[in-house]
Each structure stands twice: as structure tokens, then as C-alpha cells.
Amino acid sequence: MNAIATPIAPPSMSRGRVFNAYVQEAKAECLRYLRNPGFLLPTLLFPSVFYLMFGIFLARSNGPEVPRILLAAYGVFGVMAPGLFGFGVSLALERDSGLLTLKRAMPMPPGAYLIGKMTMAMGVATVISVFLLCMALFLAHVQLSGSQIATLFVVQLLGVLPFCAMGLLIGSLIKGQGAPGLINMIYLPMAFLSGLWFPLSMLPAFIQRLAPVWPSYHLNQLALSAIGLGQGGEWGHIGVLAIYTVAFVLLAARRLRRYG
């Protein structure tokens, strides 16, 4: 008598093991970037040095509100980097080396890879935001209330997410060797065209009209609103950033499913 073989379902992971998988992946990502000064130091130092030069040393001659305005602008400039480079460059390199394929074959939750990188990016964004706030409060003597400090911190911490999604899409499209150069070609012009380095009023009219195209513009408007310098329409800016985040993630997921 022939027996019909019944496929055996793979054992499911307990909730504790699933949670631990997320924690270990996030820990591994954070440790990897802590051991990579070529990524970490420029990411932390660029916004801080720029704010020190333009927001503290040179700002007073241009008006008392300039250090406050540049705190928002360079904070946005700072939190863009861990999302774009932490996701974009590393994903492109891991696709080329086969590490992403290996991680897919490992018995860990599919979302642990993305959550780990997102945790790393938000951790770096936290350090950047806190460092700039300390410089603004104790060196530039910017007057901010407790609620304004908390709101600005939350805006910048969550504001890294659209740039994580953008980096995810870029990393899914390009090769590892070309990733740093291409992301710099996107990162730096986007910061300039969004009014992060110079007020938009100082730029040509066509650049002012195109500024709302960039997610960094909308994040900067939210940061300015957090410190009492906004022009209203906060929910509109939040909606645009949410749309960008979802669209970038969906496009990246589609690309990765097709081409790995």
C-alpha cells in the first residue's frame, strides 16, 4: 500500500525569537556603522561644522533670527545623510556582493533587514539633532521653549524616513561602486535647491518655484514651524512626505522583487 507523503510545514518562530531577530539585526547594523568612520564622521561633522561657521560665527551680522533659521536648515541637511547613504550605498554594495541574497535565505523575518537599517539611520539622526540643538542653545544662545525643542527633535527624527525610502530606491537601481557618487549628486543639489544653504528668496525665481518638488523642502518647512517660524500648511507638508515615503518604498520593493 502506497502512502501519500504529506509535506511538513517548517516550524514557526516564537514571538520572542522573532523580536530577538529584529533586535539583533538592528544591533548589527548600528555596530557596523560605528566601526565605519568613513561613513560616520562626515555624516556627523558636516552639518555641525556648517552650523558652527554659518549659524554661529557669521550669522549674528545678518540678524538675530539667522541662527534659529539655520538650526532648522542644517538639522534637515544632517538627517538626510544617514537615510540616503545608510540605505542607498550599503544596499547597492550588498546587492553586488551577494550579501542581500544570503540574508534573504537566512531564517529571519523579512522586515528585520529594513528595520535594522532604519534603526541605524534614526540613531545617527538622533545624535545629529541633539548635537545641533546643544550648539544652538549653548553657543548661539538661540531661545527655544521646551515644546519647541521636543517638536523639532521629533520632526528631524521622523524626517529621516523619507530619505531612508529614497536611499532604498536608489540602492535598488544602481551598482555599488557608483552609489556614493550618484547619491552625492542627488544629496547636495537637493539641499541647495530646497533652500537649506541659502534662503530661497536669494535664489532665482524658477528655483523658488521648483523647491516644493524636493522632500527636503517640506521637511525644512516642518522644522521651521517647530521653532515658531513656519508659514502654515503643516499637514500638507506631512502628507507630501508620507506620499514620497510610500512611493519610494513601493518602487524599491518592486525593483528588488524583479532583479534582487
Tens of pLDDT, residues 159-212: 999 999 999 999 888 887 888 888 999 999 999 999 898 888 888 888 889 999
All three cell numbers of 173, joined, read 537601481
**What's the whole-number average pLDDT of the chain?**
86
- Least confident among 5-19, 24-38, 131-145, 234-248: 5-19
Residue 88: pLDDT band with limits 50, 70, 90: confident
Contact (CB, 8 A) for 103 and 25: no
Residue 8: pLDDT band with limits 50, 70, 90: low
Residue-wise DSSP of 189-224: HHHHHTTSSS-GGGS-HHHHHHGGGSHHHHHHHHHH
Give Cβ neighbours of residue 257 (< 8 Å, ≥ 6 apart).
Answer: none
Q: What is the pLDDT of residue 219?
A: 97
The pLDDT tens digits for 16-73 are 777 787 788 888 888 887 787 777 888 888 899 999 988 888 766 666 788 899 999 9
Instruction: Give CA separation, 245 vs 24, 78, 142, 238, in Å.
Output: 25, 18, 32, 11
Count CB-CB contacts under 10 A for residue 253.
Answer: 14
Asked whether the predicted pLDDT for residue 102 surpasses 80, the reply is no
The mean pLDDT value for 83-108 works out to 80
Dihedral sign computed on CA atoms, order 234, 240, 243, 247: negative
Count CB-CB contacts under 10 A for residue 127.
Answer: 14
**DSSP 8-state assignment for residue 260:** -
Q: What is the pLDDT of residue 157?
A: 94
